[in-house]
Amino acid sequence: MELFVTLILAGLIVALLWLFSLRSRKHVCLPPGPSALPIIGNLLQLDKRAPFKTMRQLSESYGPVMTMYMGRQRIVVLVGYDAVKEALVDQADDFIGRGPIPFLMRATRGYGLAISNGERWRQLRRFTLTTLRDFGMGRKGMEEWIQEESKHLVARVNNTKATPFDPTFFLSCTVSNVICCLVFGQRFSYDDDHFLSLLQIIADILKFGSSPWGQLYNIFPRLMEWLPGRQHVMFAKIEKLRDFILKKIQEHQDTLDPSSTRDYIDCFLMRLSQEKHIPTTEFHHDNLASTVLNLYLAGTETTSSTIRFGLSVLIKYPKIQENMQQEIDRVIGQERCPYMEDRKSLPFTDAVLHEIQRLIDIVPMNVPHYALQDITFRGYTIPKDTLIIPLLHSVLKDEKQWETPWSFNPQHFLDQNGNFKKNPAFLPFSAGKRSCVGESLARMEIFLFIVSLLQRFTLSCPGGPDSVDLSPEYSSFANVPRRYKIIATPRW
């Protein structure tokens, strides 16, 4: 009985402290939001499989700048193109922080580009952008790598002999090999079992991060470390990925030629050697291993999933596929490789590829930002240590920006004369100073790989167009498309 009374009193004290803390914050002028419960915050109100949908719905009552609580963590959600653009672009320096997401912190051990802030982030981002550009990202050299990889993809698809196959691992291998060339200086065979096992780990990481279990880890990390569950299996898999990366770094160290850098790792090791006597340098092995992990993860699964979703869209809308093939045949033909220069002569194809990226909404909640100090925004105060979610889902589905935001419509990117037109709300890679460093690479891959496939194959599936469901298999951190067996029938 005494224990029961003690527990009741302890619960009342926690509740009172929570209410007191909320009341004491009122003078701060927080953005409005739904009432939160002690300890768990607004968790019970969120759709656990698609929390971004609940956030967008709640914004209809509380406005485009809204306060919520995930457990005890305060978050401010920015909803709609206007609010997101104003924060990430117009007030870019205020919203430059990256949130200490527990899952990513554990996976990277707190190092690397993705979750860093301050001087570490500035040094690593500047170096990474410069190095990737030097190795051709967004330029001719990278285009040739992608064209070469597309030949391997086309050959593998051709070997299916127009029988049903799951394109998932073909596309993962293809996209991953491009980032492997940039980072490791080599590509891997589609038959390499170790390579395939690493790709499976990457897919599992994305799936776990988008699962309710993964979200619980981010909200209650200490509790989840103590409880049994899939999180421990996942971190063991991440260590296998890290071991592979460390092995590659060691191989690079053993064979490094300062007069001829081969890839990102070589360039980092050179900078590490140059700055080894500088106490404040961010060029050390911990940051190298975690940044390579960042690039490898981000450069593989999101782009391959987008391309896979694109193939499903083209199967569901065969007339769209046919119109793209006619345009590609007229401009490029069926023999030569496509070039990025061709894109300006393929307005319909370009519009379809943009609409595919808009519709999949691959990272609906963005990678969270963080208030490194108190931020004044639209008359509100966002206190230091607040997690900030610029809701990309609400931008790519903004009814003020898109005529039919919930359906596939390439006309979103075409003018009345059939010419390609840009839309400022097309932000699948986010915006501002923390936008995706691999954006130009991903754009090249999506264009060159899909056009190469359509040059040579007509895509269908055993159940026909009506059997294709474009809703995601699972959602949360990422919208991951459903897996289908497809048929690639050679066109000639």
Write down the CATH superfamily of domain 118-490: Cytochrome P450 (1.10.630.10)
- Answer yes or no: is pLDDT of 33 > 80: yes
Residue 41 has φ and ψ, to the nearest 5°, of 65, -130
Q: What is the share, in percent, of the chain residues with pLDDT greater than 70?
A: 93
DSSP state of 44: G
Q: What is the pLDDT of residues 210-243, one digit of tens each?
A: 888 888 899 999 999 999 999 999 999 999 999 9
Mean pLDDT of all residues in 374-392:
98
Cα torsion angle, 171, 173, 174, 178, sign: positive
Return the closest-CA partner of residue 365 out of 396, 393, 387, 385. Answer: 393
- Burial pattern 18-35, b for ≥16 Cβ within 10 A else e, equals beeeeeeeeeeebbebee
Mean pLDDT of all residues in 282-288:
96
Return the closest-CA partner of residue 321 out of 413, 455, 411. Answer: 455
Mean pLDDT of all residues in 261-278:
94
Residue 139's pLDDT is 54
Tell me which of 23-27, 208-212, 307-311, 331-335 is least confident.
23-27
- Answer yes or no: is pLDDT of 264 > 80: yes
Q: Quick check: 56 and 393 in contact, CB under 8 A?
A: yes
Nearest-5° Cα angle at 66, 389 to 429: 25
- Answer yes or no: is pLDDT of 186 > 60: yes
The DSSP string of 357-420 is HHHH-SSTT-S-EE-SS-EEETTEEE-TT-EEEE-HHHHHT-TTT-SSTTS--GGGGB-TTS-B
Residue 428 amino acid letter: P
Q: What is the pLDDT of residues 399-419, one digit of tens each?
A: 999 999 999 999 999 999 999
Q: What is the pLDDT of residues 10-20, one digit of tens each?
A: 444 444 444 44
What does the mean pLDDT of the chain come to? Answer: 91
pTM to 2 decimal places: 0.91
The DSSP string of 193-247 is HHHHHHHHHHHHHHHHHTSHHHHHHHHSHHHHHHS-SHHHHHHHHHHHHHHHHHH
333 CB burial (10 A radius; 0-12, 13-18, 19+) = exposed
Residue 475's pLDDT is 82
* Separation between Cα atoms, residue 307 and residue 303, nearest integer Å: 6
* Separation between Cα atoms, residue 415 and residue 423, nearest integer Å: 11
Residue 27's pLDDT is 55
Residue 120's pLDDT is 96
- Answer yes or no: is pLDDT of 333 > 80: yes
Residue 140's pLDDT is 59
Strand runs labelled E in 61-134: 65-70, 73-78, 97-98
Mean pLDDT of all residues in 312-327:
98
The tokens for 191 are 């038959």
Q: What is the pLDDT of residues 57-99, one digit of tens each?
A: 999 999 999 999 999 999 999 999 999 999 999 999 999 999 8
| 2 band by pLDDT with thresholds 50, 70 and 90 | very low
Residue 14's pLDDT is 45
Residue 37 has φ and ψ, to the nearest 5°, of -90, 155
Residue 252 amino acid letter: H
- Answer yes or no: is pLDDT of 22 > 60: no
Q: How many CA atoms lie less than 13 Å away from 159 in the CB half-sphere?
A: 10
Mean pLDDT of all residues in 137-145:
71
The tokens for 63 are 């406005």
Residue 1's pLDDT is 46
133 vs 381, residue with greater confidence: 381
* Separation between Cα atoms, residue 116 and residue 99, nearest integer Å: 9
Q: How many residues does the chain have?
A: 492
Query: Which residues, other chains included, contact 374 with Cβ-Cβ below 8 Å and sequence gap of 6+?
Result: 381, 382, 383, 384
Tell me which of 8-17, 38-47, 201-210 is least confident.
8-17
Q: What is the share, in percent, of the chain residues with pLDDT greater than 90?
A: 82
- Answer yes or no: is pLDDT of 352 > 70: yes
